[in-house]
């Protein structure tokens, strides 16, 4: 009598398959990647520039910028002397793994330690598309308000670390930190969280230490699982 | 000999057809509508609440709120005593004309003068979907930065009026008003533009006067064209 065998296979989307390919390519190159997501104007580019300025002499950093239009961000970052690639999405609201496939060959991956990807400014759509990048980073910002975790849960659910930027203006806004943190904690318990100000530099040390320890852990092979986020 | 006739027909998307239906329904009810779009946290709900508080005794106002999740905004607005309907998009990044078709029958349209629709917080996707509403309103905000017209052109192209909110904190940010205005002017020449602060009330009078004059013009039949935006 024939045995009954049940085959369980996770059906990956086309995008997820492309993300797996990207992840393998980064891993093979020994290159650790961050995918920065945020609302428009929350400070993605400012965080990236501060990170390059602080760590550029310790890590070889590359930059991929996703924008609907304009080369404002990529021009700023390229001025810091890091290899920079622009993905112009032509109006599309997020980066996806296929756009990354187009951008990655523009960089000498094996000559870099850290790849920073700046996603399109959008608190909704980017969370739905895996890029194959190792860590998803959310830049929240004080002026956006303390209720954003409750209103945009998918973004808060899917990230590995969060910065809360523009702490220098918190007195000017009615921002209830406990309410904000409670919303984050419900969605993403124990999420690493750094309040910062790119303007004053407040709190950036903690973020920079996190980046360095993640890159080091990756280099030591602790993060060797081929599982795209 | 048969004559050659060329038929040129604009192919409307399914969404545009639904938008036309919505527009006809509003026009038949004598109800003028505003579609408010913005980044997360720019102040859509604050502008709406200020508008209801200032004009609620002069105009009968209804409210439709689009959000990914939570009833935070609709609860706040309903407390002001206006009929309020929530569209929970279930994670979708914008409102469309079909969602509006589901929401409109929840309101007594012919008993209202002004319908305010709050779109999902997103500076990209909502600009691509007509709702059938008479005027598209963009709420920009100072903390987002002065480069947003250059980075999110589709949104700035497609609106009939713009507010720049959070003017009370402009000193705390490096906001170049001329650079911002130049970006707007390139995309949308002559766009009606009101710098405001919902916190201090600064500039709101100009916005409220605009709303009243638009409603009055509509009531007088000046805006009778069945052309959805």
Residues of B in contact with A68 (CB under 8 A): 124, 151-154
pLDDT tier for residue B224 given thresholds of 50, 70 and 90:
very low
- Nearest-CA distance A91 → chain B (Å): 7
Residue B229 located in a structural domain? no
- State which residue of chain B sits closest to A144, comparing Cα positions: B41
Instruction: Choose among A40, A122, A148: nearest Cβ to B148.
Output: A40
Residue B1 located in a structural domain? no
The dihedral over CA atoms of B35, B73, A187, B128, expressed in degrees to the nearest 10, equals: 0
3-state SS class at A63: strand
- Nearest-CA distance B219 → chain A (Å): 35
Predicted local distance difference test score (pLDDT) of residue A215:
97
Residue B5 located in a structural domain? no
pLDDT tier for residue A223 given thresholds of 50, 70 and 90:
low
Task: Please indicate whether, in this complex, the C-beta atoms of B141 and A145 are within 8 angstroms of each other.
Answer: no
- The model's pLDDT over A133-155, given as tens digits with 9 standing for 90+, comes to 999 999 999 999 999 999 999 99
- E strand segments, A15-122: 32-38, 61-67, 84-88, 114-118
A61 forms bridges with which residues in the sheet? Answer: A114
Report d(CA B206, CA B208) in Å as an integer: 5
Q: What is the mean pLDDT of residues B32-38?
A: 98
Task: Please indicate whether, in this complex, the C-beta atoms of B121 and A125 are within 8 angstroms of each other.
Answer: no
Task: Give the best residue of B39, B40, B75 to mutate against chain A (max A CB count within 10 A).
Answer: B40
- Please report how many Cα atoms fall inside a 13 Å half-sphere around the Cα of residue B64, on the Cβ side: 28
A50: containing domain: 26-219
Question: Given CB atoms, is B148 within the 8 Å cutoff of chain A?
Answer: yes
Residue B37 located in a structural domain? yes
Residue B50 located in a structural domain? yes
Whole-model pTM: value is: 0.90
Supply the mean pLDDT for chain A: 92
Task: Please indicate whether, in this complex, the C-beta atoms of A69 and B150 are within 8 angstroms of each other.
Answer: yes
Structural domain total, chain B? 1
Residue A62 located in a structural domain? yes
Residues of A in contact with B175 (CB under 8 A): none
Share of chain A above pLDDT 70, in %: 92
Given a contact cutoff of 8 angstroms between Cβ atoms, the answer to whether B25 and B53 are in contact is no
pLDDT tier for residue B181 given thresholds of 50, 70 and 90:
very high
Residues of A in contact with B121 (CB under 8 A): 39, 123-124, 151-152
Count of C-beta atoms within a 10 Å radius of residue A7: 4
Report d(CA B32, CA B223) in Å as an integer: 9
- The model's pLDDT over B61-109, given as tens digits with 9 standing for 90+, comes to 999 999 998 899 999 999 999 999 999 998 899 999 999 999 999 999 9
Q: Is A5 left (phi over 0), alpha (psi -120 to 50) or beta?
A: beta
Report d(CA B83, CA A121) in Å as an integer: 33
Supply the mean pLDDT for chain B: 93
Report d(CA A53, CA A76) in Å as an integer: 12
Task: Please indicate whether, in this complex, the C-beta atoms of B152 and A121 are within 8 angstroms of each other.
Answer: yes
Complete edge-to-edge strand list for the sheet that includes strand A32-38 = A84-88, A61-67, A114-118, A32-38, A135-141, A161-165, A192-195
Predicted local distance difference test score (pLDDT) of residue B6:
64
Residues of A in contact with B144 (CB under 8 A): 39-41, 143
Predicted local distance difference test score (pLDDT) of residue A12:
72
- The model's pLDDT over A95-108, given as tens digits with 9 standing for 90+, comes to 999 999 999 999 99
pLDDT tier for residue B152 given thresholds of 50, 70 and 90:
very high
Share of chain B above pLDDT 90, in %: 87
Residue A13 located in a structural domain? no
**What is the CATH number for A64?**
3.40.50.300
- Asked whether this complex has an ipTM greater than 0.85, the answer is yes
Question: Given CB atoms, is B225 within the 8 Å cutoff of chain A?
Answer: no
For the cut 80, the answer to whether the pLDDT of residue B10 exceeds it is no
Report d(CA A61, CA A115) in Å as an integer: 6
Predicted local distance difference test score (pLDDT) of residue B223:
53
Long-range CB contact pairs, B204-213, < 8 A, 24+: B204/B50, B204/B54, B207/B47, B207/B51, B207/B163, B208/B51, B208/B54, B208/B55, B210/B161, B211/B34, B211/B51, B211/B55, B211/B114, B212/B55, B212/B58, B212/B59
Residues of B in contact with A67 (CB under 8 A): 151
Given a contact cutoff of 8 angstroms between Cβ atoms, the answer to whether A32 and A26 are in contact is yes
Q: Residues 12..41 of A with a Cβ closer than 8 Å to B: which?
A: 39-41
The dihedral over CA atoms of B91, B93, B95, B97, expressed in degrees to the nearest 10, equals: -100
- The model's pLDDT over A30-82, given as tens digits with 9 standing for 90+, comes to 999 999 999 999 999 999 999 999 999 999 999 999 999 889 999 999 999 99
Given a contact cutoff of 8 angstroms between Cβ atoms, the answer to whether A39 and A144 are in contact is yes
Predicted local distance difference test score (pLDDT) of residue B9:
58
Q: Residues 190..219 of A with a Cβ closer than 8 Å to B: which?
A: none
Residue A20 located in a structural domain? no
Task: Please indicate whether, in this complex, the C-beta atoms of B121 and A153 are within 8 angstroms of each other.
Answer: no
- Nearest-CA distance A29 → chain B (Å): 32
pLDDT tier for residue B228 given thresholds of 50, 70 and 90:
very low
A66 forms bridges with which residues in the sheet? Answer: A87
3-state SS class at A180: helix
């Amino acid at each position: 009598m024939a045995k009954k065998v049940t085959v369980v296979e996770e059906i990956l989307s086309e995008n997820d398959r492309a993300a797996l390919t990207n992840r393998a390519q980064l891993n093979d190159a020994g290159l650790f990647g961050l995918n920065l997501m945020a609302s428009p104007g929350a400070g993605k580019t400012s965080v990236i520039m501060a990170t390059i300025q602080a760590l550029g002499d310790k890590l070889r950093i590359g930059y991929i910028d996703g924008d609907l239009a304009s080369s404002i961000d990529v021009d700023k970052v390229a001025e810091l002397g890091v290899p920079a690639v622009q993905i112009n999405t032509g109006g599309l609201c997020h980066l996806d793994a296929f756009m990354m496939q187009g951008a990655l060959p523009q960089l000498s991956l094996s000559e870099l330690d850290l790849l920073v990807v700046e996603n399109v400014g959008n608190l909704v759509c980017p969370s739905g598309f895996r890029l194959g990048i190792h860590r998803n980073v959310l830049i929240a910002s004080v002026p956006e308000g303390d209720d954003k975790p409750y209103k945009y849960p998918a973004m808060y659910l899917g990230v590995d670390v969060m910065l809360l930027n523009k702490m220098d203006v918190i007195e000017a806004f009615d921002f209830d930190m406990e309410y904000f943190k409670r919303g984050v904690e419900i969605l993403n318990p124990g999420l690493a969280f750094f309040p910062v100000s790119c303007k004053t530099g407040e709190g950036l040390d903690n973020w920079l230490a996190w980046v360095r320890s993640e890159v080091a852990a990756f280099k030591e092979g602790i993060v060797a699982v081929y599982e795209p986020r």
